[in-house]
Amino acid sequence: MSNTMSSFKFPTAFTILFALIAAMAAATWVVDVGQYDRVENAELGKEVPVPGSFKPVEPNPQGIGDVVLAPINGFFDIDSYEVRAMDVALFVLFIGGFLGVVNATGAIDVGIKNAMVAMAGKEKWMIPILMALFAAGGTIYGMAEESLAFYAILIPVMIRAGYDSVTGVAIIMLGAAIGTLGSTINPFATVIASNAAGVPFTDGIGLRLVILLVGWLICVLYVMRYAEKVRRDPSASLVADMKEANEQHFLSEAGGDDDAQLSGRQKLILAVFGLSFVVMIYGVSMAGWWMAKMATVFMVAAIIVGIIGKMSEENLVKNFVAGAGELLGVALIIGVARGVVVIMDAGFLSDTVLHWSAGVVTGLSDIAFINAMYWLQVLMSFFVPSSSGLAVLSMPIMAPLADFVGVGRDLAVTAYQSANGLVNMINPTFAVVMGGLAIGRVRYDIWLRFTWPLLLMLTILIMAVLSVGTIL
């Protein structure tokens, strides 16, 4: 028995996602499903469900053929914001190609070593600073898929500083997620949800700021505590068994010894490297860019780096393709994760879960109502990970229910975005989670072990703020 238990190995992300696809398909055979009527919302430019219009429909059970097609269809499925998983997957491949070219110059490795020497004894302060930057991206424009560009850059820095890959993943994933959880002006969560609920997006911003700032502080202290524990005792790392393999994977040999200094050419390459991310962030937040233009930035930057590094045309292409190949598994996970949603939509499960949720909160007191709504949004977030998708689906139905118990619709919006942000820290159907973990070489079960105490603390915070909000 003990030998059996000790030989058990947690399944890979692909197996977990295939199991979820199969489970959702099985549900379409036994659940009585239905749909809401939908009308065009001129302000959102999308169709939204009509309250009270839910009615049973003929089931559309998903068979074995649908299950095996779902991961493929997931690449081409368009979510509520008209984004295909294929677009995100290609973006990831272009990031990989760009990093492959830059890594071949040795500039990043030498730059990291020099930075660690300069920051000796102060490395821990990188954590709050970087988490503040990612949280800003989350609260301002809903940073999600764009964060995938930073994992391969930040994780080597953390490992070189004496931390581990879990620390690097946590800084990015939790930083951006707490920003989205406490969204203030995020157009893909707060603004869309408020519009769908029929209230100004500035209503309730005070409570959201409290959740954002206190939640950020909790996350920072949590990550710093873990990071320092790992630094003092590497065996305390949740990925201690992968220490050597991760150092080999993330720290290239191109940089030479620790005393190596950046050449003028390498400094110029790092300038182009940094500028590429600045251009991407500006384009997304200010110019409305999306995946195609973001990928183009990294393609052009790779060519420029190759020219500066005096690479031959053959080496440039070889390094780009090799770098893209490093992230091929991540790109595939993104499509497979979307396959879960494909099965749910085809089997009419999304509307059915929403209708059931609306029935649960009807007739509750104000505090019980808002907390029940939070937990129902937690449930729905597992099945609809897209913040804009969940807003368009749930708010037209759930927000009017708040009127019957005297709870402000802005509080319903806060409950929705807090739940969605929290779940998307661990959601296996959210491509950003599975993609980030794949890049960081962190197993999903390890990520759950790392995050569950933090999720508990954040849940207590959110429920307390929501409860106070009902009496303000």
Q: Where does residue 372 rank: exposed (0-12), middle (13-18), buried (19+ CB within 10 A)?
A: middle
**Per-residue confidence band for 64, with pLDDT thresholds at 50, 70 and 90:** very high
The answer to whether position 3 is within a domain reads no
Q: Is residue 55 part of a domain?
A: no
> Binning pLDDT at 50, 70 and 90, where does residue 4 land?
very low
User: What percent of the chain stands above pLDDT 90?
Assistant: 42
Could you give phi then psi for residue 385, rounded to 5 degrees? -70, -25
> 41 forms bridges with which residues in the sheet?
46
Strand partners, 47: 40
* Residue-number span of the structural domain to which 442 is assigned: 12-50+65-469
- State the average pLDDT over residues 323-334: 83
In a domain, residue 57? The reply is no
Q: Is the pLDDT of residue 274 over 60?
A: yes
Residue 80 in this model has a pLDDT that exceeds 60:
no
SS (HEC) of the chain: CHHHHHHCCCCCHHHHHHHHHHHHHHHHHHCCCEECCEEEECCCCEEEECCCCCEECCCCCCCHHHHHHHHHHHHHCECCCCCEHHHHHHHHHHHHHHHHHHHHCCHHHHHHHHHHHHCCCCHHHHHHHHHHHHHHHHHHHCCCHHHHHCHHHHHHHHHHCCCCHHHHHHHHHHHHHHHHHCCCCCHHHHHHHHHHHCCCCCCCHHHHHHHHHHHHHHHHHHHHHHHHHHHHCHHHCCCHHHHHHHHHHHCCCCCCCCCCCCCHHHHHHHHHHHHHHHHHHHHHHHCCCCHHHHHHHHHHHHHHHHHHCCCCHHHHHHHHHHHHHHCHHHHHHHHHHHHHHHHHHHCCHHHHHHHHHHHHHCCCCHHHHHHHHHHHHHHHHHHCCCHHHHHHHHHHHHHHHHHHHCCCHHHHHHHHHHHHHHHCCCCCCCHHHHHHHHHHCCCHHHHHHHHHHHHHHHHHHHHHHHHHHCCC
pLDDT for 2 equals: 44
Residue 113 resides in a domain: yes
Query: Would you say residue 212 lies in a domain?
Result: yes
Residue 290 scores a pLDDT above 80: no
Would 388 be classed as within a structural domain? yes
pLDDT of residue 207: 94
Q: Is the pLDDT of residue 6 over 70?
A: no
| pLDDT score at 110 | 79
- Look up the pTM and report it: 0.79
| pLDDT tens by residue, 44-60 | 677 788 888 899 999 99
**448 within domain boundaries:** yes
* Model confidence band, residue 252 (pLDDT cutoffs 50, 70, 90): low
pLDDT at 259: 56
Residue 108 has pLDDT above 90, yes or no: no
Q: What is the pLDDT of residue 79?
A: 54
Averaged pLDDT, 61-74 = 91
Mean of all residue pLDDT scores within the chain:
86
User: Does pLDDT of 109 surpass 80?
Assistant: no
- pLDDT for 81 equals 45
Question: The tokens of 258 are what?
Answer: 């620790």
**In the predicted model, is pLDDT for residue 35 greater than 50?**
yes
pLDDT score for 5: 44
Answer whether residue 439 is part of any domain.
yes
Number of independent structural domains in the chain: 1
Query: Averaged over 312-322, what is the pLDDT?
Result: 94
pLDDT higher than 80, residue 304: yes
Cα dihedral: 248, 251, 256, 262 (round 10): 170
